[in-house]
Amino acid sequence: MRDEGASLNIAERYLTELDKMGMIEVEEEDVPTATRLKSCRIHKMMRLLSISMEITAIVPVSRKARAIDLITKNKHLHSLHILDPHKQQVRQPGKILPFDVEELKLLRLLDFDRVDFRSYDDKLPGDDQKQNIGLVLQGLSKLVHLKYLSFKRCFLDKYLSLPIITNLQILDLRVDDSVNEVILPNVLWKMRRMKHLYLPRMFQTYNGDKLRLDGMTELETLENFITKVCNVADLQTMNKLHSVAMKVDGYFPDLQFINQHLKKPSNGQIQLSIDIRNFDCFVDQRHSLIREVLEYLGVRIFSIEGHIN
């Protein structure tokens, strides 16, 4: 018996209690998916306490020179949050100057929140744009203790230069909704200790191949799994998966595979959010398949778009 689903619910209850105690701040999903909570952040007073203990730094991007100076002088940091303090206002997001993150050898958490990584020169050719974030994050692959990396609500060029980070467990690539598409390097499958993966809303790989996720046997949470650019067969290697949000683009064999996968007794605890697009139901076989998916007890959110006869 697997209890990952129950563990997620317990974790959400604990986070809710911590929110009531004023230790953290939580944000709930506008439209609930496989999880109820959208994000959580340490309360300001707790952050100040952490800073006083010299393990955490909160850096506003509006003070670029001071921010980089703070980072380079505190090489013992365990957690680094770089954020836009004006993110609730209608204004241009803050840009960040390049810095060598390799100097922060003890870093375990690196959190960018609504930071602008877009090229300073919009006329840069594609190859130079690919290196833009790489300049900011030089040495990221050398951080052997790094377990959490987030680009949530950030602004990117089309290309994301993401190195292999061996011990990474949580990766959040849910960039700002204004970013139409992100082009990812096909290296995520090599990060085999990953437990929680949040992919961009729209993405593809550099060479146009499907994004490889095979062998990610420790994965527990997977969001924005898009069958058009991901291989559904990779799901069968994720033995610990308990929460998945996926988009299925009308391809009947993909939905058949997903249905058969969910029927396995070992997958009974998976909490599923599924968005099916361009799926026409003109024959009984397709009607039956939709009914079978709906019968799965772990369905939290079900959405379908297409012609139903």
Q: Which domain holds residue 128?
A: 4-228
Q: Is 303 exposed, middle or buried (0-12, 13-18, 19+ CB in 10 A)?
A: exposed
| Residue 181 belongs to a domain | yes
**pLDDT above 60 (res 53):** no
- Return mean pLDDT, the chain: 81
| Residue 306 belongs to a domain | no
| Residue 245 belongs to a domain | no
Helices H / strands E in the chain, number of each: 7, 18
pLDDT band at 146 (very low <50, low <70, confident <90, very high): very high
Classify 47 as helix, strand or coil: helix
Please tell me the number of Cα atoms within 13 Å of 41 on its side-chain side.
17
pLDDT band at 59 (very low <50, low <70, confident <90, very high): low
Write down how long the chain is: 309
- Enter the pTM of the model: 0.78
Write down the pLDDT at residue 199: 97
Nearest to 151 by CA among 141, 162, 167, 135: 162
Average pLDDT score over residue span 24-33: 73
| Residue 280 belongs to a domain | no
| Number of CB atoms found within 10 A of residue 149's CB | 21
| Residue 102 belongs to a domain | yes
Whether 170 and 148 have beta carbons less than 8 Å apart is answered as yes
| Residue 212 belongs to a domain | yes
| Residue 237 belongs to a domain | no
| Structural domains counted in the chain | 1
| Residue 295 belongs to a domain | no
- CATH number of the domain residue 122 falls in: 3.80.10.10
Task: For residue 255, give the H/E element and its range.
Answer: helix 252-263
pLDDT digits (tens, 9 = 90+) for 225-280: 999 999 999 999 999 999 999 999 988 999 999 999 999 988 888 999 999 999 88
Write down the pLDDT at residue 138: 63
Write down the pLDDT at residue 1: 39
- 173: Cβ contacts below 8 Å, ≥ 6 apart: 151, 160, 182, 184, 198, 199, 200, 203
pLDDT digits (tens, 9 = 90+) for 79-131: 888 876 655 554 566 566 666 778 888 889 999 888 887 764 444 444 444 44
Which residue would you say has higher pLDDT here, 37 or 287? 287
**pLDDT above 60 (res 50):** no
Average pLDDT score over residue span 278-298: 89
